[in-house]
Amino acid sequence: MAETINRGGAVDALVDDLLALSRVLVGLTARTLAALDTDVTLPQYRMLVVLAGRGPQRPVDLATELGLHPSTITRTSDRLVRRDLVQRHHAEHDRRTIRLGLTDAGKELIGEVMRRRAAELRELIEPYGPDLDLPRAVRAVVSATGEPSEAEWWRRWSESARLGSA
């Protein structure tokens, strides 16, 4: 797999950098959620983000958007309703139609996570100055967090199932 990723060229290098950045952002999000002591998992957070960005959704539409089975959406939304982060709305024209939307607490949680993530990213990028171009910015964030390059990640991945090596 690593051989197909690392072909060389500007596009492939940017793809590699973006993949490494995606790992940084997932880690940053997980740390932020943990720091807020929210008891919200990353998949639950992703659902909240979609609801924040797209507004109330029918569960079936949310399942399609997230690439999940509708029953998974039902279980996840049940948990988020119990935490008062999501609420169910019944359509006025058809009481059988349910839409899921954020509560004020859900909206505030998403806002706080986004603000904290932006502050941490700003802190990582500011030392490089205002003229930092996008590819360099991506590499700077990845490097500043200690995340391995894409090539190094794939090397580590290929060795990750070997027992007794450390």
Q: Which DSSP string do the residues of 60-108 spell out, in sequence order?
A: HHHHHHHT--HHHHHHHHHHHHHTTSEEEEE-SS-TT-EEEEE-HHHHH
Q: Is the pTM value of this prediction over 0.75? A: yes
pLDDT in tens, 41-74: 999 999 999 999 888 889 999 999 999 999 999 9
The verdict on residue 164 lying in a domain is: no
Stretch 30-38: mean pLDDT, rounded?
Answer: 92
Q: How many domains does the chain have?
A: 1
Asked if the structure places residue 158 within a domain, the reply is: no
Asked if residue 5 belongs to a domain, the reply is no
Range of the domain at 60: 12-153
CATH of residue 64: 1.10.10.10
Q: Which of 44, 17, 51, 15 is nearest to 29 (CA)?
A: 44
Q: What is the pLDDT of residues 104-151, one digit of tens each?
A: 999 999 999 999 998 998 898 888 888 878 888 888 888 888 888 878
